[in-house]
Chains A and B, each alone.
Chain A
């Protein structure tokens, strides 16, 4: 009896608030009956479980009814409630108002944890690194392949990330950048001060330049580094260190970039249609990182994210579309659109739709339908037939990017004699 009390106390201490364990026994089991009764039938399954090094406290205490209903249940595996709710009754691990939450926390704790026992600490179903790699393989692969590795990544993702949720930061970070980084990297160390040219980087966002998961560039800068950064020529764009203006660039907007990229900028501006982002908002910095980036051109992220910041409706249309257009799925908006400017509407890289679509699709194999400048669109004397006569490139709610609910409806727009 004493041992049970001690176990219960331990559970309270380890798993606050242990409401389920502390609750009065609703089944009025005879003394010593709990667990033992279950094991009478389930010993074959549970004996190997109980031998594992990390056993879930209720299992260890044979309190099976802490999670399972012994007679009947509305939930699978005769659970007393929905799985997540059962876990949450003891494990209050998700912040009340999280800035970020780990998706498996929403979908089910058993994605990562074994509710009975495990060979790994915290009842994880796999070794921590292997477990994270199950979903985050590219990140872990990059970290493994990186020439310059970040020590904590080699140890355990939870050094920096809270696997359940973060009350303070995005990306499940235990605290915001740079506070998280400066916890280990003392920014007043002479070598770090020298590396950063004396700029007050202790308050800057480290991940604007450094890849925290490792990289192939010395200093763990992202793989694509802006040459002035690589050459430690911060003063080319910024006021000198110690300036009362802090990190403020010497010039605002496109004027600063034009200092080096005059030819590129001039060619952009010399087009019929200049992308709004080139002239508006933060100009170049609306899409590009000024220091370093994972992707070519130092684009701030996947194009679906970067372009979707303004063109959310268009991205959403693809998401809702029954048929997906691969370049959008792959985040390759620039396959069709020039992000700086174009002489064609919609900033298309080629004004001719057949030529543009033909860069990926061999339409002559795709269809025997007449297409091209010699075939007038029967619906409109000013149009000739092209791919966009029948398809919408960002998708529709109908199959094959069809603008109309059925193929019949589409075809009979022109072939009216077949209309019923």
Chain B
């Protein structure tokens, strides 16, 4: 496994967005292509990161790979292969370092301990036939699950009990991901409509946040917050990252289609470290792209 350190490369010009948050640029730090044994990634869809670590859901190979990621340098690359996880697609790290993994084939969320040992399934208590499409963890380790069966977001406490259910809007839409910010606002991403909806911490129903983004993105796949007033949307079919304000305003677009380093091809999950590093699960390029976020 090699991680090339590249000279700073601003990938796209900043658009003339009104807010200062639009001054976000992504500087390519080169991709990660394989594990420590040089086994290449195959269609990776998930990535989770912290200051010091990076975990990859190497979806096509049916495994996870754990790396150290310190001072911008990625090293290691230990394989975690579990019988329970044959098609991992989304990862989240909780405050204790436990790894939560959504497996698309099993249609369940697994909990692994910090060493990667399987601890069990997180099956929501109080909801039947849940099919989780996506999930997020907040700072208090509450789990937010986008449930296709009930068409709602289920909020689970640490024991897995459903403490809150927020129905998704009943309309032609394909909700594929959600995000939650520090204030407890939940955001939901509609891939078909290219829209983001939101509900405040005490709210009962989602309301439209950003509308009419069809020209800005095409079948987006992933949504996350940067903790600094912006939402990052992985524009899957449009091949890029779209920046939105938490008020739904369009702030700009970063990255573009390509196979060379610094470009993306069907990007999926994104993760941001507190120190401002960004990892992108670049499914079509069979790699994880690393960037430094500069403002």
Interface stretch of the complex, out of B12-20, B21-29, B180-188, B253-261: B253-261
Task: Decide: B149 and A413 in contact? CB cutoff 8 A.
Answer: no
Partner pick for A382 among B33, B257, B258, CB 8 A cutoff: B33
CB distance from A376 to the nearest CB of B (A): 11
Contact A413-B148, Cβ < 8 Å, known A271-B105, A381-B40, A382-B33: no
B286 interface hit (Cβ, 8 Å) = yes
Q: Are A379 and B260 closer than 8 Å at their CB atoms?
A: yes
Across the interface, do B260 and A280 meet the contact criterion of CB distance under 8 Å? no
Does residue A380 face the partner (Cβ distance < 8 Å to B)? Answer: yes
Contact of A379 among B86, B148, B149, B258 (CB under 8 A): B258
Min CB distance, A283 to chain B, in Å? 10
For the complex, give the distance between the alpha carbons of A377 and B261 in Å. 12
- A272 contacts B by Cβ under 8 Å: yes
Interface string of A180-194 (1 = CB under 8 A from B): 000000000000000
Do the beta carbons of A380 and B172 come within 8 Å of each other? Answer: no
Kindly specify which of A65-73, A113-121, A304-312, A362-370 makes contact with the partner chain: A304-312
Tell me which of A310, A380, A381 has the highest count of chain B C-beta atoms within 10 A of its own C-beta. Answer: A380
Query: Which residues from 33 to 57 on chain B have a C-beta closer than 8 Å to any C-beta of chain A?
Result: 33-34, 40-41, 43
Q: Mark A282-317, 1 if CB is under 8 A from B, else 0.
A: 000000000000000000000000000111111001
CA distance A98 to B237 in the complex (A): 36
Q: Are A310 and B40 in contact (CB under 8 A)?
A: no
Cβ 8 A contact of B285, one of A274, A311, A383, A403: A383
Residues from 237 to 295 in B contacting A, C-beta threshold 8 Å: 237, 257-261, 266, 283-287
Instruction: Tell me how many residues of B have a C-beta within 8 Å of chain A.
Output: 35
> How far, in Å, is A382 (CB) from chain B's closest CB?
4
Which residues B176-225 have CB closer than 8 A to chain A?
A: 176, 192, 194, 214, 218-219
Q: How far is the CA of A311 from the CA of B176 in the complex (A)?
A: 14
Asked, given contacts A271-B105, A273-B104, whether A380 binds B286 with beta carbons under 8 Å apart, the answer is yes
Whether B287 contacts A382 by the Cβ 8 Å rule is yes
Mark contacts of B114-153 with chain A using CB atoms, 8 A cut-off: 1 yes-contact digit, 0 otherwise. Answer: 0000000000000000010100000000000000110100
Judging by beta carbons under 8 Å apart, are B286 and A317 in contact?
no
A272 engages B86 (CB within 8 Å):
yes
B166: interface (CB < 8 Å): no
- How many angstroms between the C-alpha atoms of A309 and B260 in the bound complex? 34
Bound-state Cα–Cα, A374 to B172, Å:
44
A182–B287 CA distance with the chains assembled, in angstroms: 61
Complex contacts, B259 vs chain A, CB 8 Å: 377, 379-380, 383, 389, 413
Residues in A neighbouring B87, C-beta threshold 8 A = 272-273
Q: Provide the main secondary structure of the chain A interface.
A: mixed
Whether the pair A413, B219 counts as a contact (CB closer than 8 A) is no
Docked-complex contact A272 and B33, CB < 8 angstroms: no
Majority secondary structure of chain B interface residues (helix, strand, loop or mixed): loop
Bound together, the chains give a CA A310 to CA B131 distance in angstroms of 20
Interface presence of B112 (CB below 8 A): no
CA distance A313 to B86 in the complex (A): 31
Residue B10 CB within 8 A of the other chain: no
Contacts of A377 in B (CB 8 A): 259
Instruction: Report whether B260 and A311 are in contact in the complex, using a CB–CB cutoff of 8 Å.
Output: no
Q: Select A313's contact among B43, B176, B194, B257, beta carbons within 8 Å.
A: B194
User: Which of chain A's residues have a CB closer than 8 A to the CB of B161?
Assistant: none
**Shortest beta-carbon distance from B77 to chain A in Å:** 14
> Which chain B residues lie closer than 8 Å to A272 at the CB level?
86-87, 104-105
Q: Which of A279, A309, A317, A380 contacts B148 (CB 8 A)?
A: A279
| Closest Cβ neighbor of B256 among chain A residues | A403
Instruction: State how many angstroms separate the Cβ of A274 from the closest Cβ of chain B.
Output: 8
B36 CB, nearest partner CB in chain A, Å:
16
Shortest Cβ distance from A272 into B: residue:
B87
Q: Which chain A residues lie closer than 8 Å to B214 at the CB level?
A: 313
Question: How close is B139's CB to chain A, nearest CB, in angstroms?
Answer: 30
Residue B80 interfacial (CB < 8 Å): no
The reply to whether B258 and A314 form a contact with Cβ atoms under 8 Å apart is no
Taking the nearest CB of chain A, how far is it from the CB of B38, in angstroms?
Answer: 10
Is A345 interfacial (CB-CB < 8 Å)?
Answer: yes
- Nearest B residue to A389 by beta-carbon distance? B259
Residues on A close to B: CB < 8 A? 271-274, 276, 279-280, 309-314, 317, 345-346, 377, 379-383, 389, 403, 413
Other CB < 8 Å A-B pairs besides A272-B104, A345-B283, 14 of them?
Answer: A272-B105, A276-B148, A279-B148, A280-B148, A313-B194, A313-B237, A379-B260, A380-B259, A381-B33, A382-B41, A382-B287, A383-B259, A403-B257, A413-B260
A-B contact pairs, 28 of them (CB 8 A): A272-B86, A272-B87, A272-B105, A273-B87, A273-B104, A274-B104, A279-B131, A280-B148, A280-B151, A310-B172, A311-B219, A312-B192, A313-B214, A314-B218, A314-B219, A345-B266, A346-B266, A377-B259, A380-B260, A380-B287, A381-B40, A382-B33, A382-B34, A382-B40, A382-B285, A383-B285, A403-B258, A413-B260
